[in-house]
Amino acid sequence: MRITKYGHACVRLEHDGTTVVVDPGMFTDPAVFAGADAVLITHEHMDHFEEAGLRAALEADPALRVWTNTAVAAQLEGVGGRVAVVGEGDAFELGGMEVSVHGEWHAVIHPDIPLVRNIGFLFDGRLFHPGDALTVPPHAVDTLLLPIAAPWSKVSELVDYVREAGPRQAVPVHDAVLSPAGFAVHTHLVGPGGPGTGAEVRVLREGESLELG
């Protein structure tokens, strides 16, 4: 499996001839859709889901399909059977890749801000994208896509999350809200400069890829 980091929380997965795009939001280059077979969206916020861009990609490629939650699906009215609604406990297959769905709610930004639905995707039992939540996967995974900074998180919570999730390596995503200096500070604290998580932190810059064994 090969993962490539795109803008913010978006990654592109390639495995056995199948290409999957996860969370292509407003900070993501639309080129990410080229050649994709499927788009998976964790929740409705614009940094993870940009309706106009996704509709354009669906119009350009009649074979492209979407898997997401009820709230995002409701905003894609007219796309019809090309959108599959999934939630906690569901599982499906993309090419030869098994995908399971975990989590229900976005992390709390503030008690006065209503929660939205959020789902995480586990790929072949080894790569987990939690979206905007600190959802613990059902078992320790090889690679965790770690939301490194958000209005709803702090570094101490991220350290505890990685410890609980127990991945071999953590790849920071959800970083558009950080300056280069802030990104360096956060990854240092979650990585070798912090109290320790038991996981290696693998930093991918925009457009960089990582091969998973």
Instruction: Break the chain into its structural domains and give their ranges.
Output: 2-204
Distance of CA 182 to the CA centre of its chain: 21
Q: How far apart are CA 67 and CA 182, in angstroms?
A: 33
Per the listing, tokens 């074979």 go with 63
pLDDT given at position 81: 87
pLDDT given at position 169: 98
Considering only the top CATH level, what class is 2-204?
alpha beta
Q: How far apart are CA 117 and CA 74, in angstroms?
A: 13
> With a cut of 50, which residues of the chain have pLDDT below it?
none
Per the listing, tokens 């996981």 go with 199
pLDDT given at position 32: 97
Sequence-separated (6 or more) residues with CB below 8 Å from residue 153: 107, 134, 147
pLDDT given at position 71: 96
Sequence-separated (6 or more) residues with CB below 8 Å from residue 14: 1, 2, 4, 20
pTM: 0.97
Collapsing DSSP to helix, strand or coil, 93 comes out as: strand
